[in-house]
A and B are shown apart, each in its own frame.
Chain A
Amino acid sequence: MSYELLGITVLWTFLFGYLIVASVDFGAGFFSYYSVITGKQNKVHSIIQRYLSPVWEVTNVFLIFFVVGLVGFFPDSAYYYGTALLIPGSLVTVLLALRGAYYAYNTYGSSKEDNKIYIAIYGATGLLIPAALSTILAISEGGIITEINGQVNLNWGSFFSNPYTWSVIILALVSVLYISAMFLAYYADKAGDRPAFEVLRGYALWWSGPTILACVFAFFQINRQNPEHFRNMLTIAWAFILSLICFLIAVYLVWKRRRLGVSFILVMLQFGFAWYGYGHSHLPYILYKQVSIHESFTNETMAVALIIVFIAGLFVLIPSLIILLRLFLFDAKYVRGSSPKKG
């Protein structure tokens, strides 16, 4: 495996991690808000809060990892994406900042009732951030960032009038809600919280239909936007078929209320197959026709250094993550809520 391929695989994996972890978080924010305004608060709110609390900071890091790594391995991408994405990138930053800060204020700050404004910010940003972030995937298909006489520009007209852009945004939104509901249903089941589980199971099943429809829609929109990419996707069609099969089994298990852990693993596999299939067929371009992993790669010394650090970092990260998960996700006492929360 060449260094550049290794580099992009590492980065893509981080982004996949972000996709899963952040989806759970974003969706949880929305469901949390939704449960408050529909009066189902008592049933699901506490289970969501309990999961979110210790994990929130970790989510952002996946994204930062990806951005820093992308710029590190492929400095040219900073130039093109950085210049073109000033406005959307800044907007996402502001939304992330509001979300992170107000979440912390609500959780650690006010010792009494949950603050309605904080929850509303958390719910709204939970949908706006993935919508904004997903547009970068649409931009990466090419034709929207132009470079004329050394001036990099984002063509807003062709950006918004493009059905592909919208198909990706819709896909991002429904996927977030689907992934999140599938996870929270599993978490509620682990906590032995029947009423919460029933509500969340309903959400999960409800969002599964739109998810698969949006996937298929976006899949065929790529053909219009970027036929070359689409042809590459067809050569590895098996990945997308496997993704569909995982989806069907996962939904079936939730419907039957059986083996919810397995079901969530299948959800991850569903998105994993689609994610790597999409990413693999996207290569060698990071930005179609402008940034390719071969020509825009950093120097070899730096690449080797980054890869060494990455491997060394994994030795620290994986044990830490395992501790975190064991204490909060897989500790029956904590999950059920019988051990104390914050200090």
Chain B
Amino acid sequence: MSYDPVTLSRMLTGLTLFVHIVFASLGVGVPLIIALAEWRGIQTKDPHYSLLARRWARGFVITVAVGVVTGTSIGLQLSLLWPTFMRVAGHAIALPLFMETFAFFVEAIFLGIYLYTWDRFKRPMLHLLLLIPVAIGSSTSAFFITTLNAFMNTPQGFTLKNGVFTDVHPLIAMFNPATPTKVSHVLASSYTVSACVLAGIAAYSLLMGRKEIYFKKALKLTVISAFIFALSTAIIGDFSGKFLAKYQPEKLAAAEWHFETRTEAPLIFGGVLDQNNEVKYGLEIPYALSILAGNKPSTKVIGLNEFPEDERPPLFIHYLFDLKVAIGMLLVLIPFLYLIRRMLPGNRQGGYPKWLLLGIMLLGPLSIVAIELGWLFAEFGRQPWIVRGYMKVGDAATTSNHVGAMLLMFAVLYIVLCSSCVIVLARLFRNKDVADEMRELGMKEDVR
């Protein structure tokens, strides 16, 4: 391989984030859903919900472990692979990084306590309360880290003087224009992916012929959550479009293959570009881009031609964007179909149309793909900048010649970690079946 350190550093960082983002998103969202289940269990005195919380928590801790160690990787790789970036930008962004560590600390401590204290309190509510710092900790970690990413997109709160960031205002840097939409999008999509993955697991069990009402309760709780979260994610996505149009027009323009600045801009879905940057075979929705950018057809949308060629993001992000949006719509549609399931046709399995169960099962992988696409889009869309307008990616990376070997080493590590994680999770739930556990706890096995 003859890649330069910059390309290799990008690949390694991308790889780490590619793995981390799945576990991190689950880490943010799953505590919330566990809390929902445990809360319902206490409210309705229904032991099924408490058991749900307990079993989810047991699997959750495995994914947290992988999230923690990949998070440690990215934390160290920021300095190892991007020393110049950290040296310069560190002056402005150290604050959220530092706070993230605190938030994570709180999360880790209370998660440890939560896991080991299921039957230690006389009042079950006290145990549930332990989840609040876990959920707050993980969501605020996501918040702090995302402000950092937002800063890279719309930097502010400093003056660049002789290559040094001076006159720094850390809070202004944190609360930059990209922060509101980015943070809310990240949080909502984390909750969505968590609900979708858990819904997928419940649907899988039902498809495999499980009849216990336990699984139906799991399905109901998770699919309804998925619907609400996916819908919010979509609405926030619309705000993100307006944000991009105003503050990062080149990202939106590249995503939409929008070259000429104009009003009444159409939105193009799919298609291919020829040599003259003409779109072919695309689905064109009139006015839609203008409406996305500013809610009315008369909104002027800045085109890519306004930017010098070496400052344009790569054009393939169009596909990332379209695919992400398409999946995002499915994530709303499938849970919606669940809500009206009684009116739907099809062969029934356990009272649900079989094809619908299949669709819900797919929510898990689909939502993970959507998250990956979203991140790829966000990161490629910022190219060639690492700090937009101030520092290019090419000037920020390490100069070391050993990044290639490290890339290989980490690739092996992540393959080992992820595959063993899946094996351990599968074994965990196979060894301790729900039915056995209910019997152990002296619960009735309702089959309906």
Q: What residues on A are CB-neighbors of B108 within 8 Å? A: 57-58, 61
CA distance A102 to B76 in the complex (A): 20
Residue pair A57, B72 in contact (C-beta under 8 Å): no
Using Cβ atoms and an 8 Å threshold, which residues of chain B touch A104? 61-62, 64-65
Q: Are A98 and B91 in contact (CB under 8 A)?
A: no
Please give the number of chain B residues whose Cβ is less than 8 angstroms from any Cβ of chain A in the complex.
80
Taken residue by residue from 50 to 62, chain B's Cβ proximity to chain A (1 for < 8 Å, 0 otherwise) reads as 0000100110011
Residue of A at shortest CB range from B158? Answer: A299
Contact B72 A340, beta carbon cutoff 8 Å: no
Interface 0/1 of A55-81, CB less than 8 Å to B? 111101101110111011101101111
Smallest Cβ distance from B195 to chain A, in angstroms? 22
Q: B402 on the interface (CB 8 Å rule)?
A: yes
Chain B residues positioned under 8 Å from A316 (CB to CB): 102, 106
Stretch in A105-113, A172-180, A255-263, A271-279 touching the partner: A105-113
Separation of A85 and B68 alpha carbons in the complex (Å)? 22
Question: Which chain B residue lies CB-closest to A105?
Answer: B424
Chain B interface, DSSP helix/strand/loop, else mixed? helix
Best-surrounded residue of A58, A94, A151, A317 (most CB of chain B within 10 A):
A94
Chain A residues contacting B400 (CB-CB under 8 Å) are 83, 86
Residues of A within 8 A of B277 (CB): none
A339 to B90, CA, bound (A): 46
| A87 & B94 in contact (Cβ 8 Å cutoff) | no
B204 at the interface (CB under 8 A from A): no
Residue in contact with A72 in the complex, picked from B70, B88, B97, B399, CB distance below 8 Å? B97
B95: CB under 8 A from chain A? yes
A6 within 8 A of B: no
Q: How far is the CA of A268 from the CA of B58 in the complex (A)?
A: 35
Distance of A177 Cα from B396 Cα, bound (Å): 40
Q: Is A225 an interface residue (CB 8 A)?
A: no
Residue of A whose beta carbon sits closest to that of B164? A299
A83 to B115 Cα, complex, angstroms: 39
**Cβ–Cβ contact A58 & B66, under 8 A:** no
Whether a CB of chain B sits under 8 angstroms from the CB of A343 is: yes
The CB with the most chain A CB atoms within 10 A, among B57, B73, B80, B402, is that of B80
A108-B398 Cα distance, complex, nearest whole Å? 38
- A309 and B406 contact, CB distance less than 8 A: no
> With A54-B113, A79-B86, A343-B118 in contact, do A152 and B399 touch (Cβ < 8 Å)?
yes
Contact call B112/A324, Cβ cutoff below 8 A = yes
Is B314 part of the contact surface with A, judged by Cβ < 8 Å?
A: no
Is B79 a contact of A108 with CB atoms below 8 Å?
no
Contact B104 A61 (CB under 8 A): yes
**B443 on the interface (CB 8 Å rule)?**
no
- The answer to whether A68 and B75 touch (CB under 8 A), given A79-B86, A105-B62, is yes
Range class of the A interface residue count? 35 or more
Q: Is B446 an interface residue (CB 8 A)?
A: no
- Report the minimum CB–CB distance from B39 to chain A (whole Å): 16
Measured in the bound complex, the distance between the Cα atoms of B71 and A64 in whole Å is 10
A108 engages B62 (CB within 8 Å): yes
Chain B nearest CB from A291 CB (Å) reads 11
| C-alpha spacing A76/B79, complex, angstroms | 10
| Contact assessment for A112 and B431 in the assembled complex, using a CB-CB cutoff below 8 Å | yes
Q: Within 8 Å of chain A (Cβ to Cβ): is B409?
A: yes
Interface residue B448 (Cβ < 8 Å from any Cβ of A): no
Given A90-B409, A110-B424, A111-B428, is A100 in contact with B58 using a C-beta cutoff of 8 Å? Answer: no
- B116 in complex: contacting residue of A54, A76, A83, CB < 8 Å: A54
In the complex, whether B261 has a CB less than 8 A from a CB of chain A is no
| CA A265 to CA B76, docked complex, whole Å | 32
- Min C-beta distance of A303 to chain B, whole Å: 9
Question: How far does the alpha carbon of A211 sit from the alpha carbon of B62 in the complex, in Å?
Answer: 36
Judge whether B119 is part of the interface by a CB distance below 8 angstroms: yes
The CA of A100 and the CA of B339, in the complex, are separated in Å by 41
Most central of A79, A92, A96, A102 by chain B CB within 10 Å:
A79
B413 lies within 8 A of A82 (CB): no
| A101 adjacent to B92 (CB under 8 Å) | no
A213 and B119 CA atoms in complex are apart in Å by 48
| Known contacts A82-B83, A301-B170, A302-B94, A309 near B102 by CB under 8 Å | yes
* Beta-carbon contact of B421 and A101 below 8 Å: yes
Asked if A64 contacts B72 (CB within 8 A), the reply is yes
Inside 8 A of B427's CB, which chain A residues have their CB? 109-110
B113-A101 in contact (CB<8A):
no
Query: B109: which of A64, A73, A302, A321 is its contact (CB, 8 Å)?
Result: A321
Contact pattern, A 179-195, Cβ under 8 Å of B = 1, otherwise 0: 00000000000000000
The CA of A108 and the CA of B61, in the complex, are separated in Å by: 7
For B416, the closest partner residue in chain A by CB is A98
A302 engages B69 (CB within 8 Å): no
Q: Does B378 contact A (CB under 8 A)?
A: no
Q: Does A89 contact B (CB under 8 A)?
A: yes
Cross-chain contact A82 with B398 (CB below 8 angstroms)? yes
**Distance of A73 Cα from B62 Cα, bound (Å):** 33
A75 near B94 with CB under 8 A, answer yes
- Asked if B434 is at the interface of the complex by the 8 Å CB criterion, the answer is no
B58 A108 Cβ-Cβ under 8 A: yes
Q: Is A146 an interface residue (CB 8 A)?
A: no
B168 close to A (CB within 8 Å): yes
Residue of A nearest to B60 (CB): A108
Cβ-based interface call for B327 (8 A): no
Query: Is there a chain A Cβ closer than 8 Å to B133's Cβ?
Result: yes
Q: Does B181 contact A (CB under 8 A)?
A: no
Instruction: State whether B101 touches A68 (Cβ < 8 A).
Output: yes
Q: Could you tell me the distance between the alpha carbons of A111 and B87 in the complex, rounded to whole angstroms?
A: 46
Q: Tell yes or no: A132 within 8 A of B by CB.
A: no
Given A64-B104, A72-B90, A100-B68, output 20 extra A-B contacts at Cβ < 8 Å: A53-B116, A57-B112, A61-B104, A61-B108, A64-B75, A67-B79, A71-B94, A78-B87, A83-B83, A89-B79, A97-B72, A97-B73, A105-B424, A110-B427, A111-B428, A305-B170, A320-B133, A321-B109, A340-B119, A343-B115
List 7 A-B pairs, minimum CB-CB distance, nearest first: A72-B94, A104-B65, A343-B118, A82-B83, A75-B90, A78-B86, A97-B69
5 A–B contacts from the bound complex (CB under 8 Å):
A60-B72, A93-B77, A108-B115, A110-B431, A327-B116
